Chain A
Amino acid sequence: MIDASLFISAVLFTIGVVGVLTRRNAIVIFMCVELMLNAVNLTFVALSRAYGMAGQVFVVFVMTVAAAEAAVGLAIIIAIFRHRQTVNLQNINLLRG
């Protein structure tokens, strides 16, 4: 089952990547990032069966950080929305060089 888990994890990760590249809504992109994190969690859990509890402990940490990151990130998006009335990433290009 470890092989299958790793494969599924890879596929989910790739789907997340494609989503990041393809979507324009900032929140949806954020959710794709969460999908990627979940895929990685699957990998950790799968491998913890072979390598000990460290894998699962690390998943706890990943989830914690994901939560923190989601909170802050969404706060930023709200702040941007207040300024620009949009969350379409194509319109948010103040860093344009």
Chain B
Amino acid sequence: MRGEIYPLFYTFHFYVFGVIAIASALVFVTRKSPVAAALWLVMTMFALAAMYVLLDAHFIGAIQVLVYAGAIMVVFLFVIMLLNLGHPSELADAQTGWWKLGAGAVGVALISMIATRVRADLPESLLVPANFAQTELANRNAVGSVADPLFRADQYLLAFELTSILLLAAIVGAVVLGRRSTPTRLTTGAATDAEKRDARDLAGVSGD
């Protein structure tokens, strides 16, 4: 809505946040410390959230902050802290110079190719009217405009339900994978020393 009245305002801020996003991403990729990298990624995500809002995807912007930056990155940070990987001095992290050069070349090639494709015209037949987004936001509010297709049986309801099953599987998998094996007969009783050592190894480093 407001984009029509103050287009320059929106466009300018869009570019500002875009620059912030790119810069943050670059910094993120070059950090030695994983914690620093994670935080810079959070920064990138904030910038992206702002861009989403400027693109009239209010709900998505909010979700981005809540889920991505607020949950997923938090989990990442938890794991980094758990594994005690915070110290930048431990890791000489990046690969050798040739590798980086190659990666750079790949990057350049990728950008150029994508850029070429992006120049292509958008197919006409799928376009919706120009004020579509505003209309949607006006009719239903931000959440409703996303929820409506999501819960319609003839649109994305099935995918929604399947995704919930996927989440269930992921939860179960994560729990199983993360579980420490309970002490078995091997760590007690008449097992050999080597077997006990192996069992302890499997159970975890610190032996608890």
Give the B-binding residues of A (Cβ under 8 A): 1, 3-8, 10-19, 21-25, 27-28, 30-32, 34-35, 38, 41-42, 45-46, 48-54, 56-57, 59-61, 63-72, 74-79, 81-83, 85, 87-88
Closest to A38 in B: B48
Docked Cα-Cα span, A32 to B50, in Å, equals 20
Number of interface residues of B (CB under 8 A): 88
Residues of B with C-beta under 8 A to A66:
68, 72
A2 to chain B, nearest CB (A): 8
Pick the contact of A48 from B15, B48, B57, B159 — CB < 8 Å? B57
Q: Does B178 contact A (CB under 8 A)?
A: yes
B166 near A65 with CB under 8 A, answer: yes
B83 near A81 with CB under 8 A, answer: yes
A21 to chain B, nearest CB (A): 4
Tell me the dominant secondary structure on chain A's binding face.
helix
Pick the contact of A18 from B44, B54, B85, B103 — CB < 8 Å? B103
Residues of B with C-beta under 8 A to A38:
44-45, 48, 64, 68
Q: Does B38 contact A (CB under 8 A)?
A: yes
Q: How many A-B pairs fall under 8 Å by CB?
A: 229
A42 and B149 contact, Cβ closer than 8 Å, known pairs A63-B64, A83-B201: no
Pick the contact of A72 from B60, B127, B170 — CB < 8 Å? B170
Pick the contact of B60 from A24, A59, A77 — CB < 8 Å? A59
Pick the contact of A15 from B45, B54, B107 — CB < 8 Å? B107
Q: Can you list 7 residue pairs at the A/B interface with Cβ under 8 Å?
A: A14-B110, A15-B25, A19-B28, A21-B106, A35-B25, A68-B169, A71-B170
Q: Could you mark each residue 49-70 of chain B with 1 if its beta carbon is under 8 Å from any beta carbon of chain A, else 0?
A: 0011011110110011001100
A50 near B127 with CB under 8 A, answer: yes
Give the A-binding residues of B (Cβ under 8 A): 10-11, 14-15, 18, 21-22, 25-26, 28-29, 34, 37-38, 41, 44-45, 48, 51-52, 54-57, 59-60, 63-64, 67-68, 71-73, 75-76, 79-80, 82-83, 85, 91, 93-95, 99-100, 102-104, 106-107, 110-111, 114-115, 118, 122, 126-128, 132-133, 136, 145-146, 148-150, 155-156, 159, 163, 166-167, 169-171, 173-178, 180, 201-202, 204-205
